Amino acid sequence: MLATIQYNSRKLKIDLSQPLDISIPLKGNISNVNAWYLDPPKITPEVIDGEIVSVANGAVVNFNTITFNPHSHGTHTETVGHITEKVYSINKQLKQFFFLAEVVTVAPEKLGDDYVISKKQLQFALGNKKRDAIVIRTLPNTKEKKSRQYSNTNPTYLLEDAANYLKSKGIKHLLIDLPSVDKEQDGGELLAHNAFWNTKGSLRLDATITEFIYVSNKIDDGCYMLNLQIAPFENDASPSKPILYKIIE
């Protein structure tokens, strides 16, 4: 099923029958991806008047309650409200959902005891391309990312100059396969978050960061149409389901 999307002055064709899902599903057990020192999410049937409300236990419906944190437990999209006193809702700030995106693969650089993504690496990956969004896949890229327990592991992160570079390039939507764009323990500085959202100047209210994606090795680097789907949460962040579509030349 082909669709034509108007992007600026160009008409781009995408095949809606070939979606490339780069989200990580949420599961109610220890195999769920996790960060920030929380227990796994829970997906459990409610108990009403002593009865477990699930078809397996004799009820006519399944009636699960889900307990999770979007930042800790899977693919999520966040606004600047994640780090500001005023909580800007993702449901109100993200008003468009299709973007021209560049998928890039980066081998993190060693910096002291850390592994980082630098401005130089992103400059090389993007060149003079103009995109709404960037999708960063880090190496090594294994399926273990879908269930990794990141707490206290000091994962790779984005340097401040890299985030500033993306802002200067006009990138509005940053997607990455890590639990955060910032260092796990940084004394609360959140340098990459602050730089990307320009918190020292005019806030980029329409810019988003999506963390905990997984980009299969079957997906080539290059230009795609991104459909950034969120749940309608009135919160700084929402679980999300980013979908890529190949552009048909």
Kindly report the average pLDDT of the chain as a whole number. 97
State pLDDT tens for residues 147-205.
Answer: 999 999 999 999 999 999 999 999 999 999 999 999 999 999 999 999 999 999 999 99
pTM value > 0.75: yes
Please tell me what DSSP assigns to residue 34. Answer: B
d(CA 81, CA 2): 36
Instruction: Spell out a b/e string for 74-112, using b for 16 or more CB atoms within 10 Å of the CB, else e.
Output: bbbbbbbbbbeeeebbbeebbeeebbbbbbbbbebeeee
What's the pLDDT at 130? Answer: 94
8: left (phi over 0), alpha (psi -120 to 50) or beta: left
Percent of the residues in the chain that have a pLDDT greater than 90, as a whole number: 94
What's the pLDDT at 3? Answer: 84
State pLDDT tens for residues 55-90.
Answer: 999 999 999 999 999 999 999 999 999 999 998 999
CA distances 233 to 19, 68, 74, 89, 179, Å, are: 24, 13, 15, 8, 20
pLDDT at position 249 over 80: no
pLDDT at position 6 over 90: no
Tokens of 40: 């796994």
What's the pLDDT at 1? Answer: 81
State pLDDT tens for residues 113-161.
Answer: 999 999 999 999 999 999 999 999 999 999 999 999 999 999 999 999 9
What's the pLDDT at 90? Answer: 98
Q: Which of 230, 233, 231, 227 lies closest to 247, judged by CA?
A: 227
Domains of the chain: 2-26+71-248 (3.50.30.50)
